[in-house]
Chain A
Amino acid sequence: MSPTVIDQLFFIYFYISLSILSIGVIVSRNIIHSAFFLLIFLLHVAAVFLFLNAEFLMAIQIIVYVGGVLALFIFAIMVMNIREELKHRRFVKFAGSGFLVSLLFFTVFYGFVRNIRFETSKPLSSDTNVLGSLLYSYYLLPFEILSLVLLIALIGGILIAKKTPREDR
């Protein structure tokens, strides 16, 4: 058993569990159970990043998705009444068309991925420094545009939240 065999075993584990967890997210009837599956799913994705030698992405994945996005999801879910939701029938009517669409998607996706040739360069010791210097030199314009888009979204969110009629007026 060389280290590469161990690596591959870990990869097989992660891809099987990722598929099972992602099915769990959409299959569970209880929305909190879905959120729980999503939590474990996102942590697994972070572990996959770690195996690809992307430490920084691993940490950011945990902080942004696990610590921020999902926590806000659950916070929103908790103030809803999910007892109503449990009584509804499931959306099985569209299962056939959904299957067809996903088949089409994966066929196109396979055709796209098949022709990719990976550069086998040796892994960097630390991706954080490289990422920082690239982000502030070569990718400066896209980075600035993205921050502007985020700022606009932020201001828009505040504006929408302010529009709700206040009771004290």
Chain B
Amino acid sequence: MMETFYIILITILKTALYFGVLMLHVAYATYAERKVIGHIQLRLGPMVVGPHGLLQPIADVIKLIFKEDIIPSNVDKKIFTIAPLISLTAALSTFAVIPVTDKWFIADINVGILYVLGILGVGTYGIIFAGWSSNSKYAFLGGLRSAAQMISYEVALAMSIVGVIIMAESFNLTEIVNRQAQYPLGMFLFPQIIGYFVFIVAMLAETNRVPFDLPEAETELVAGYFVEYSGIRFSLFYLAEYLAMFCMSALATICFWGGWTIPPFLLKIFPFLSIVPGVVWFLLKVYFHMFLFFWFRGTLPRYRYDQLMAIGWKVLIPLALFNIILTSLIKYYS
């Protein structure tokens, strides 16, 4: 009996710690995005609040919390208020199974990767319900676009990981990382380069980021599905989007970049690297993928909607299927 309570208590403490660290990461991801894009466009980005604008995210959070929470008339009030919570809960729940090192995780379940993919799909409902309940044409169109886009790209995203699952022979995220250490390069990135390419493109589309940010294309739809939201509810959507980005980055890190491990050949050349804790490697790889998101946003124009669908169904899914067949053939004959 005491043991059960002990386990529950530890889990709650761990969850609180993860939550705090995640929120800090999200706040400073918005700052990093503005800085990175600023420097890409030869601007300075936020500079006023604090040294180099370092306190800008905190000022933004305070502003968003104290803003008036406006609920327009003629909206479906119940669904309107629940929609941002669905998005946020789905994005947060994925982190329950993501291991930071081989000892740091909240839950280590056998079907971790399937769980992450499934829960990410639930986040779509927040967007669909927000678009429908707002009673606004812009929001509705944004919601419709987002629904079609996320359903299509979920298929490509799931298929791109199948190659990794075949090589690792497990759905468990910790097991996938441990298997990668046995390969000479220490990561699945090079044997699974096709899968990684498909994953990166599908990842951009799943999180509604440039060049696939059609649900919130500001020149056509003002802001897409969250036009009618303001104050704290608006920031919940924002939070969910950045959490989903972090989740995707973590998934890419675990599945393709070897998680918290260092490639063995690097360790042979620089033996002193072994004193660096695994968390540092994990975070470095996650930050690289976050930088990738910002970099794409600063570089690429937005795709047209029919181009988006054509890329998803005619390029990415056949590529992912080819990757699955290739991987299983190599696995079978070696």
Contact = CB atoms under 8 A, between A and B. Distances in A.
A66 interface: yes
Interface stretch (B16-24, B123-131, B216-224, B267-275): B123-131
**Contact-residue bracket for chain B:** 20 to 34
Contacts, number: 84
Contacts of B70: none
B322 interface: no
A134 interface: no
B1 interface: yes
B132 A71 contact: no
A33 B122 contact: no
Contacts of A32: 76, 79, 129, 132-133
B315 interface: no
B111 A58 contact: yes
Nearest to A1: B1
A63 B118 contact: yes
A55 B150 CA distance: 25
Given A55-B111, A126-B110, A78 B144 contact: yes
Consensus secondary structure, chain A interface:
helix
Consensus secondary structure, chain B interface:
helix
Given A1-B1, A32-B76, A62-B119, A56 B114 contact: yes
Interface in A72-105: 72, 74-75, 78-79
A55 B172 CA distance: 12
Nearest to B113: A59
B40 interface: no
B118 A75 contact: no
Interface string A9-44: 000000000000000000000101100100100010
A56 B114 CA distance: 8
Interface of B: 1, 4, 76, 78-79, 82, 109-111, 114-115, 117-119, 121-122, 124-125, 128-129, 132-133, 140, 143-144, 147-148, 150-151, 154, 158, 171
Q: Which 9 A-B pairs have the closest CB atoms?
A: A67-B121, A62-B118, A59-B114, A63-B118, A59-B111, A55-B111, A126-B110, A75-B147, A59-B115
